Amino acid sequence: MSTIEHATYMTDAIGPLPFCPGCGHHVLIKSLNKAMVKLQLDPKKTVIVTDIGCIGLSDRYFTTNAFHGLHGRSITYACGLKLARPELTVITLKGDGGCGIGGTHLLNVARRNIGITLIIANNFNYGMTGGQHSVTTPTDGITSTTPWGNVEGPMDLCGTAIAAGAAWVARTTTFEKDLVDTIAQAIKQPGFAMVDAWELCTAYYAPRNQLKKKDLDDMLEGYGFKLGVLTNKPREEYSAHYRKAFEAGKSAVKKRTTIETGFDNAVARQTGIVIAGSAGQKIKSAATLLAQGAMYSGLETTQKDDYPITVMTGHSLSEIIVSRDRIEYTAIDSPDYFLVISQDGLKKARARIEQLPETCTLYAEQSLDLPETMAKVVKLPLNDVAAKISKLSIAIIALAAMLKDSGIYPAHAFANAISKFQKPTVAEMNLKAAAAGAELT
Amino acid sequence: MGREFLEGNEAIARGAMKAGCDFFAGYPITPASSILHYMLDLVPRAGGMAIQAEDEIASMGFCIAAAMAGRKVMTATSGPGISLYSENIGLAQMGETPLVIVNIQRQGPATGSATKGAEGDIQFTRWVTSGGLPVIALSPATVAEAYDLTYRAFNLAEQYRSPVFIMASKETGVTRESVDLDAVELPPRVERKAAPPDQKYQPHYFEHLAETPAMSAFSGEHIARFTTSTHDKTGYLTTNPAVIQEMLDHYAAKINDAADDIALYKQDFQDGADTLIISYGIISRSVAVAVKNARARGQKVSSLVLQTLWPTPEKTIRAAMNGVGKVIVPEMNMGQYRLEIERLAPPGVEVIGVDKMNTSLISPSEIETIGGLA
């Protein structure tokens, strides 16, 4: 570029920078401005995102877009902007305090490689709220909340980001001559880039601990820390990777299968059906097929499921209502048909079975030891029939037996739902199961 | 056109896509997780971005920023997640962010019963964040309404530049029903009011208090500013008490003054009825049965079903209570919205709560018995 279009990205319209005399933020903010001038960023396509704390006051002094959000969450806003508008240059300013409260966001942006720049004004304490200790306060450091010296160990922000997979990380101080270049390099990275800039807080941490420029060097040496670019392992930025993965892996749009009425039904009034069994017996999907079969028969229907939070173990219970009219109340207080096909199901439903009315028909696997009930009991060799077809079809067998016995709608409608909604191999098995079930009653 | 067998969560996802949603961020939580799954399938196909965030706080952070960058945005969670959204909901109000927040309510408090339904977040949603500004919240009762109200929530979010809540129960979110979504009649889409390109942009500019400011997105025609701090119309920090009060009055007026326009409800009134049942969400369906049963016995009873919970449809509620002696308010909580009804009830009107929060639905017979209709 032959001419400089943007000589500065800062304005003094609202007065001078608000920081204490000698505070490192002055140098950091002005260095950021110089880096932006060097890169000639488009102000409309650049966002300064700030966290809470003294550094959070700085976005107002920039002529670019600005987003000032909640404490510790600046990375999430920066990511949201970048994900929504990948063309934006997003520069986040955050303190060491923000890195503590928002630690998980630092780990995750590094891991995801979302292309934002994170500049950390790291002055080892909370300057805005009265000099409390932060995650980077050195051990033995004196702060307003560590009056006898800090007993916690400091977090190595760069090491943490690198361990989390950050593509580009640099450590520096506000006394380094190449600070502007370091920041400019970070902004140029297509992926996530982080600059951990060590500074002096001249209001609290520096005077309380007699910390001067030379002491920063001693601290670094004491930790065995190096300055400069610590890691530079570019990899594909998140949004580009996301789009590529989607294009490569995208499955066909799931076709909407609508259900047209093709069968009659014999449902005179709203009818409640409950099936209780074990996880893994495909209770839910069989109940859905029963409902879809009802829809092929012109009925309205609802399905509610009950299962433990760990889905692969314990009971599985589904409640299906079928009706000629719109269904309002979706619970079944007095079932018309109750199916219990396993010990897990019986255990869950025992109290309800004991309360079943005489108008209800209870279909039960013949080996189950049923409690006393007023319901009409129909014992079925469900396990034996399933053993010949598939254990996964036992719920289909039971529902087909109930359908045949009750006559609420035709077996063909049930078979139609199986054919339309299940994969061909599964459907073939379940059609056999439905036919076998219908022969039981 | 045609009937399908769908759960409410899928209808919510479809309603969002119909409204033009092109950004979704969320974190897994029972019973809202399937919305995350549907959106992760649907949004990228439409050219947008859907992402599982590291937690609920990040979900809201992503969503607020994406909305301010011009996207139409939704997130979905359950009660515990709303707790974590809370601080960011204040940020969304402060920045006048259009955003749809779905809460598939489950039995609380705390972790409660993850797979069981309740409607216990009603007042929590009204007072969800520091500062107590008004919110917009809609409550679907059926799978068709989940579709309809989610679509409308996007319109309201744009119209008022505000977060809008969909407050369903697990009982609507993960219960399947036979439904024809194509038969649901939807209003036209409301698009964001864009700031004039030839003028300096003031992110919170209004002429009169209740006016929704025009918006310019990050990466758009203007330099945009967004801040969590007390600010003026330009989005710059202010400590001037008169300006601070004017901005707060604006945030409140923009929603409160529009209460009648935001009010969605269904009424089934019977001439001469002395009893009125006011309900919302899943329990309005138990009410429909209770009303039918009572009328079959020759009793006169009216029903008002609220689809808009916040801002309170005061005019509608007052009009419905006019002339009745008794109001029954059944809720899947310990009597939260009843506070609104009691506040609005004329002197001498008896307000009876039917409160239940034990994971099972309130049955029609419980409403009839406790309400004195049986």
The verdict on B165 and B26 lying in the same domain is yes
The verdict on A239 and A357 lying in the same domain is no
Q: Do A304 and B175 touch (CB under 8 A)?
A: yes
Q: pLDDT tens digits, residue range B14-58?
A: 999 999 999 999 999 999 999 999 999 999 999 999 999 999 999
pLDDT of residue A281: 97
- Pick B178's closest partner by Cβ from A104, A301, A328: A301
Interface test with A, best of B49, B232, B305 (most A CBs within 10 A): B49
The residue among A227, A245, A263 that closes a domain is A245
Assign residue A152 the CATH number of its domain: 3.40.50.970
The residue among B165, B183, B201 that closes a domain is B183
Domain contains A161: yes
Give the ipTM.
Answer: 0.97
Q: Do B226 and A67 touch (CB under 8 A)?
A: yes
Q: Do B176 and A302 touch (CB under 8 A)?
A: yes
Domain count of chain B? 2
Q: In this prediction, what percent of chain A has a pLDDT beyond 90?
A: 95
Closest alpha carbon to A349 in A384, A375, A329: A375
State which residue of chain A sits closest to B363, comparing Cα positions: A329
Q: pLDDT tens digits, residue range B288-301?
A: 999 999 999 999 99
A3 pLDDT above the threshold of 70:
no
Assign residue A395 the CATH number of its domain: 3.40.920.10
B231 HSE (CA, 13 A, CB side): 24
Domain contains B290: yes
A302 HSE (CA, 13 A, CB side): 25
Domain contains B199: no
Domain contains B177: yes
Nearest-Cα distance to chain A for B310, in Å, is 24
Q: Which of A157-171, A307-321, A364-378, B19-33 has the lowest mean pLDDT?
A: A307-321
Tell me the DSSP string of A83-97: HH-TTSEEEEEEEHH
Nearest-Cα distance to chain B for A91, in Å, is 14
Interface test with A, best of B1, B4, B5 (most A CBs within 10 A): B5
Domain contains A255: no
The verdict on B269 and B177 lying in the same domain is no
Q: pLDDT tens digits, residue range A254-287?
A: 788 999 999 999 999 999 999 999 999 999 999 9
Domain contains B234: no
pLDDT of residue A43: 97
**CB of B64 less than 8 A from some CB of A:** yes
**CB of A351 less than 8 A from some CB of B:** no
The verdict on B291 and B165 lying in the same domain is no
Q: What confidence tier does A1 reach under pLDDT thresholds 50, 70, 90? A: very low
Residues of the domain holding B19 = 4-183
Q: What confidence tier does B374 reach under pLDDT thresholds 50, 70, 90? A: confident
Q: Mean pLDDT, chain B, as a whole number?
A: 97
List Cβ neighbours of A173 (8 Å cut-off, separation of 6 or more): A24, A179, A197, A198, A199, A213, A216, A227
Domain contains B222: no
A368 pLDDT above the threshold of 50:
yes
The verdict on B164 and B36 lying in the same domain is yes
Q: What confidence tier does B198 reach under pLDDT thresholds 50, 70, 90? A: confident
**CA dist list (Å): B334 to B168, B304, B328, B357:** 17, 20, 14, 7
pTM, whole model, 2 decimals? 0.97
Domain contains A64: yes
Domain contains A180: yes
Q: Cβ of B188: how many Cβ atoms within 10 Å?
A: 6
The verdict on A291 and A423 lying in the same domain is yes
Domain contains A286: yes
The verdict on B287 and B173 lying in the same domain is no
Closest alpha carbon to A90 in A37, A40, A41: A41
Average pLDDT over residues A300-325: 93
Nearest-Cα distance to chain B for A429, in Å, is 23
Q: Which residues of A touch B221 (CB under 8 A)?
A: 44
Domain contains B255: no
Q: pLDDT tens digits, residue range A40-83?
A: 999 999 999 999 999 999 999 999 999 999 999 999 999 999 99
Nearest-Cα distance to chain A for B58, in Å, is 5
Nearest-Cα distance to chain A for B48, in Å, is 8
User: Is the previous residue joined to B311 through a cis bond, with omega within 30 degrees of 0?
Assistant: yes
pLDDT of residue B1: 66
**A43 close to A63: Cβ distance less than 8 angstroms:** yes
Q: Do B289 and A328 touch (CB under 8 A)?
A: yes
A241 pLDDT above the threshold of 80:
yes
CA distance B12 to B18: 10
The verdict on A56 and A202 lying in the same domain is yes
Domain contains A11: no
**A113 close to A167: Cβ distance less than 8 angstroms:** yes
The verdict on A187 and A279 lying in the same domain is no
Domain contains A13: no
- Pick B3's closest partner by Cβ from A76, A104, A259: A259
Q: Mean pLDDT, chain A, as a whole number?
A: 96
Q: Do A84 and B49 touch (CB under 8 A)?
A: yes
**CB of A81 less than 8 A from some CB of B:** yes
Q: Do B285 and A330 touch (CB under 8 A)?
A: yes
Q: Which residues of B touch A81 (CB under 8 A)?
A: 65-66, 68-69, 218
**CB of B57 less than 8 A from some CB of A:** yes
The verdict on B173 and B319 lying in the same domain is no
The verdict on B50 and B143 lying in the same domain is yes
Domain count of chain A? 2
The verdict on A123 and A169 lying in the same domain is yes
Q: Which residues of B touch A41 (CB under 8 A)?
A: none
Q: pLDDT tens digits, residue range B268-282?
A: 999 999 999 999 999
Q: Do B219 and A88 touch (CB under 8 A)?
A: yes
List Cβ neighbours of B75 (8 Å cut-off, separation of 6 or more): B24, B25, B26, B59, B60, B63, B85, B99, B100, B101, B102
Residues of the domain holding A290 = 271-438
B333 pLDDT above the threshold of 70:
yes
pLDDT of residue A309: 79
The verdict on A109 and A205 lying in the same domain is yes
Q: Do A108 and B54 touch (CB under 8 A)?
A: yes
**CB of A287 less than 8 A from some CB of B:** no
The residue among A176, A210, A245 that closes a domain is A245
Domain contains B70: yes
Q: Do A76 and B58 touch (CB under 8 A)?
A: yes
The verdict on A309 and A221 lying in the same domain is no
The residue among B148, B183, B218 that closes a domain is B183
Assign residue B288 the CATH number of its domain: 3.40.50.920
Assign residue B153 the CATH number of its domain: 3.40.50.970
pLDDT of residue B60: 98
Domain contains B175: yes
State which residue of chain A sits closest to B364, comparing Cα positions: A329
The verdict on A305 and A208 lying in the same domain is no
What part of A 24-53 touches B (C-beta under 8 Å)?
43-45, 47, 52
The verdict on A112 and A231 lying in the same domain is yes
The verdict on A227 and A293 lying in the same domain is no
Domain contains A183: yes
A2 pLDDT above the threshold of 60:
no
The verdict on B124 and B17 lying in the same domain is yes
The verdict on A209 and A79 lying in the same domain is yes
